[in-house]
Structure 1
């Protein structure tokens, strides 16, 4: 491999900059404390310290604060350069828009000139996206913040051996918070931009877009474009393996229980968020976890709780305790219910912090696929067995429900649909992933269930959340094959058409048909028809029928 300096000069034009490459986590920790500066509060200056230590010093987590305008992914400022050879293949949408290629090249040139002019201090980390050398993408992070380099070190695999043609495959992340875009000049929508360039293999991040997850999700989006081009499937899911070497993958949006249910003491974890399913089985794209910290229950999440005191980890946007400097605070004493900066407080820690991980973060072909939903309307069955046609439909629908804010004492559930359970990161059209999923399921005789972790006996506010005990019993039964054809009697839901098992060990049979749990059966029917119509509207609005997906609820 030729020297990264000459490669970056040839690729981007970076010449008079001060590189600090592949530093250890300990070194990056100290660099972040000294050099990472920018805005951390509304109306504040651009030269405040961004990174802080706790009482544990380098033996504990680094605490990083993003720009107050970027405490999550900047979805309205996320683009791809619309090169003609890629334009027709990409699924353009409001959170992944076209960027004029010439405007992008002009912006990239000005960003590089900005860095050269100020002899910028830049951190370089050589990592990978994916642990399987046949599919892994070499990634070179180049950025102004040591905190981002530390995050990259945590989240991406290192030293993947056996990757061929690394220089040809390599993607470069250029992360430059100090460069603020000018929309009229640069073609951006605001003073920041996140732009994926599939032609030159560059992710350009500039302006107030310093949320750590931007680095991770940008490369996930890249992988979601490249892997289906090889007729393999990338997935926004968790994955684990049981004692019989039986692999399961769990798809689900936020709040459906994906992380909780995949953390099973009787099963080994492959990963909690980003995976690939190829001809050889399942593998993790990452080497770390990026957990939400808000309202963390330390008893229910002991792995995350313990990791808060580990060296080399990174806490994002958790406020200091009132009247107490962070450097005098034990990380275990931080108030994880404090929403004063954001609801989206985060924590990056290595996958190895989990006590029960599959060797190499890889597993066999899945025997079970779980589509998770949290139905706050209270009408979907606790578990349904899906046919191949239904899998494609519910996969592209990606349904769950969110709870709206209370208004005059009334809280109404709101339907949320996200294709493939991660629409913003899906660079191809949803049908591409749905067809690959269906083909792989058929080839490997994989079963699929729709597991509802939402409400029963009525909607949110009237009914009760389905107990985690019952949910786990239903999941365990599905993993054992108890719901396979011939092992259980089914009944068909009259409105949704879903197959419901009539019995399950450890679960009262009367709750398996949700209509039984409602006192007012007519009210149930009205609510079920209302949700069915929402599915119809989403299906029509997204145009899934044109991609060959069948409307199984018609």
Structure 2
């Protein structure tokens, strides 16, 4: 079906102009003419997303249907909406888009084309079309001629829901209709809603093909050894995977098949608060013409100030993976050798690095502990303790136990070492202790990946039940066991037990979990 017929079939009428797969130059030109933002001194295009500077979890819905009802893990995260309500909003959305320009990008999700999904993105804004052009996998020459979308995403930030008519929680909405193979987004200009809604769809589809979808970054060494980095936004996935000594496969979303891992995207969406050339040179240098910046404060001459959080802490940069030197452009790698779980611990009690058994890996994967950092979601002003199953619960439509079982099976059949790394605080909780130095975290991660922690002496933590290395290259021995960084030993164990109780309380919600996995968690002392 040609593009015009496709749009008519979806109900579009009276469209002004259709711009399909424009070049980066043209998209930037259109965005400037439309007044959507401005060029910065680096050449990147900067937009202000207004009220919504992060994801809005309470405004995300999945259309309920008998064909998928028993698959979905319904609850606070996966909130159902009726097909009738979806159609009501959709009709009003189509009316809103009459006589407007449409920016269309046809591309793919999934670098391994055996498991990829073709997606048609329809955007109201040229800037958001630039975002999807850079973040997803661009078609090769000739592929557009026979392109048939398996899913459609419509994003119209200017269309705001009416809560009394549309039965939404606010003017913003993200509605995933798996049966109709469509996502509609309105009322929010935050581009992260687009990528995460598509990720949610893949998290539904891939397990049915025997593939574990993962909210993680990945890189590869000179010998082909692959490392995965799991963690919520702000815990360091992008920063730690952008290693100048290793090649980046992807920074956020991957699939793990029996043949190896593959990037779901073709770009990166890096958090840039306090970004500096010295600490994160690869991300710094990736911010150039073609990059979309969100909510960066600039002076009158267009110079960026990444330390200014007046709009949000969640400053972002979206750019293609080939903006990172020596990136793996094909987006694939063999099965991982090392898995790193990242947690920014606001209690200041988790070890900076600890080795996990298979059961502990499944336990911490299901727990997904971190302290949610400011800006990633609306209303978060300081770190908050949170548990997000699979390190990505807002995007996981299936039961977390299913994903964890798949992880356990992958660990069983591969020679992989799993570590828990704390990128948060030491010496006391947030506000008292100090955040772990990035140079130390990098050294610990490097040692884990290079196998330098396999033969060192370990000690078991009495509360968290994990193995702590007694030494690590380029890291002071005294910070490896967190209790030694606190002035008051008794206070440390009090706080450690408080966090342990939270772990155990959270884990009670998981049903049909073996005793071996349950006992792999913290022990109240």
Whether these two folds match at TM > 0.5 is yes
- 1:388-427 alignment, distance < 5 Å: 388-401=358-371, 414-427=384-397
Cα separation, 2, equivalents of 1:449 and 1:162: 43
Report the counterpart of residue 46 of structure 1 in structure 2.
none
Cα separation, 1, equivalents of 2:373 and 2:395: 23
- 1:113-192 alignment, distance < 5 Å: 113-115=95-97, 118-159=98-139, 170-192=150-172
**1:105 maps to 2:87:** yes
Alignment check: 8 A CA contact 1:378 1:463 kept:
yes
Alignment check: 8 A CA contact 2:31 2:127 kept:
yes
Structure ID, larger Rg: 1
Report the counterpart of residue 270 of structure 1 in structure 2.
249
Moved more, 335-344 or 226-235: 335-344
Alignment check: 8 A CA contact 1:75 1:96 kept:
no
> How many aligned positions are there?
514
How has the CA–CA distance of structure 1 residues 209 and 467 changed in structure 2, closer, same or farther, with 3 Å as cutoff? closer
Alignment check: 8 A CA contact 2:263 2:332 kept:
yes
Cα separation, 2, equivalents of 1:403 and 1:65: 20
Cα separation, 2, equivalents of 1:148 and 1:520: 51
Equivalent of 1:79, from 54, 61, 77?
61
- CA displacement, residues 36-62 of structure 1 (integer Å, 9 cap, x when unaligned): xxxxxxxxxxxxx32223467xxx222
**1:254 maps to 2:233:** yes
Mind listing any 5+ residue stretches in structure 1 that lack a counterpart?
36-48, 406-410
Alignment check: 8 A CA contact 2:110 2:137 kept:
yes
**1:370 maps to 2:340:** yes
How has the CA–CA distance of structure 1 residues 370 and 27 changed in structure 2, closer, same or farther, with 3 Å as cutoff? same
Equivalent of 1:230, from 188, 209, 213?
209
Cα separation, 2, equivalents of 1:337 and 1:415: 24
Report the counterpart of residue 36 of structure 2 in structure 1.
50
- CA displacement, residues 136-171 of structure 1 (integer Å, 9 cap, x when unaligned): 1101011211111111111111116999xx877611
Measured after TM superposition, the shift of residue 114 of structure 1 is 3.6
Cα separation, 2, equivalents of 1:270 and 1:195: 30
**1:450 maps to 2:448:** no
- CA displacement, residues 103-150 of structure 1 (integer Å, 9 cap, x when unaligned): 1122212322443xx322111111111111111110101121111111
Measured after TM superposition, the shift of residue 471 of structure 1 is 2.7
Q: Give 3-state SS (helix, strand or coil) of 2:405's partner.
A: helix
Mind listing any 5+ residue stretches in structure 2 that lack a counterpart?
376-380
Alignment check: 8 A CA contact 1:32 1:146 kept:
yes
Equivalent of 1:61, from 14, 26, 44?
44
- CA displacement, residues 213-232 of structure 1 (integer Å, 9 cap, x when unaligned): 11111111111111111121
- CA displacement, residues 305-357 of structure 1 (integer Å, 9 cap, x when unaligned): 2333x222212122442xx3xxxx24xx2222232322222211121111121
- 1:204-223 alignment, distance < 5 Å: 204-206=184-186, 208-223=187-202
Alignment check: 8 A CA contact 1:139 1:172 kept:
yes
Measured after TM superposition, the shift of residue 371 of structure 1 is 0.7
Cα separation, 1, equivalents of 2:504 and 2:193: 33
Equivalent of 2:317, from 339, 342, 347?
347
Report the counterpart of residue 43 of structure 1 in structure 2.
none
Q: Give 3-state SS (helix, strand or coil) of 1:131's partner.
A: coil
Measured on the aligned residues, the alpha-carbon RMSD in Å equals 2.7
How has the CA–CA distance of structure 1 residues 305 and 77 changed in structure 2, closer, same or farther, with 3 Å as cutoff? same
With structure 1 as the length reference, what TM-score do the two structures score? Answer: 0.86
With structure 2 as the length reference, what TM-score do the two structures score? Answer: 0.91
- CA displacement, residues 238-291 of structure 1 (integer Å, 9 cap, x when unaligned): 111112211000112234332222122221111111111112211111111112
- CA displacement, residues 342-398 of structure 1 (integer Å, 9 cap, x when unaligned): 222221112111112124121110011011122232322222211111111111111
**1:13 maps to 2:11:** yes
Measured after TM superposition, the shift of residue 439 of structure 1 is 0.7
**1:530 maps to 2:498:** yes
Alignment check: 8 A CA contact 2:321 2:329 kept:
no
